[in-house]
Amino acid sequence: MSTSLAIGFIGTGVMGRSMASHLLKAGHVVHVYNRTREKAQSLLDAGAHWHDTAGAVAAAADVVITMLGFPTDVEATYFGAGGVIEKARPGALLIDMTTSSPLLARRIAEAAAHRGISALDAPVSGGDIGAREARLVIMVGGEGAAFERAKPVFELMGKNIALLGGAGAGQHCKMANQISVAVGMVAWCEALAYAQKAGLDPAAVHQSISGGAAGSWALTTLAPRALSGDYAPGFYVKHILKDMRIALESAAELNLELPGLAVAKGLYDRVAAHGWEECGTQALYRLYLAL
């Protein structure tokens, strides 16, 4: 990208750190804030500028990106005293890439518009690997002009980038994604648990079924981790639980029943009850081993 921008990046966790690093490598001036400074240290070592608050990042940037954990974090970051909405520069572009509530995305867009600021909701899919390799799926809601302005920035972090509609549309698309992900996790865990209980080698069964009609990204990527006892987080159990809660709440607002998602949510609640909230989502397989 030929023009260097001042880009604020708030939230440098598992995914945000990699995403921000791509912006730095492209020659942008990157301003960062994270609740735990140590998680931003690699970015600071690479030339990013540290700020002590999210509002200070917003005041220093033309484009402000947030990649946070929960809707409560998003609300506090944008609407809290001295937060992003209050401190953002006139004409700034705000991009929330957290998986969050469609209703909250619309609130942010409305509040930003009142200040003459553009806002997009742009949650992502692809996990830690997609973030590292800059091939995230980016699902965007907002105005077309803001999307075109943001697209060169998105292209540094992802490959499949689409504007789905107005404010909140990106979050609704991400909910559709997470519904499919969560229910799909149950599918491969049950398949491999069944194989093991039947006396088969689940790794051999995995090899047999992953390339056929039963195949999925999760079966290909996450099942081998689970079979090897690797439950390190690419995407946290606590975050898929958050996403399922949002999806079920949004579905209720739409008068839509999602029985499959409700079953998946109940199973992940049991994973969390075992104390595995900080594990990756493949820890669901661990629950089946414990049943």
Phi/psi at 10 (nearest 5 deg)?
Answer: -115, 115
Nearest by Cα to 285 from 212, 214, 186: 186
Contact criterion met (CB below 8 Å) for 171 and 194 = no
- Nearest to residue 93, comparing CAs of 115, 123, 68, 70? 115
Options 174, 238, 242, 265, the catalytic residue: 174
Strand 6-10 to strand 124-125: parallel, antiparallel, or no bridges (unpaired)?
Answer: unpaired
Examine the residue annotation and report whether 174 is marked as an active-site residue of this protein: yes
DSSP 236: B
**Dist. CA 63–CA 3, nearest whole Å:** 13
Residue 289 Cα distances to 202, 241, 249, 275, 284, angstroms: 12, 20, 30, 15, 9
Kindly state the DSSP code that residue 126 receives in the 8-state scheme. S
Which residues does the annotation mark as catalytic?
A: 174
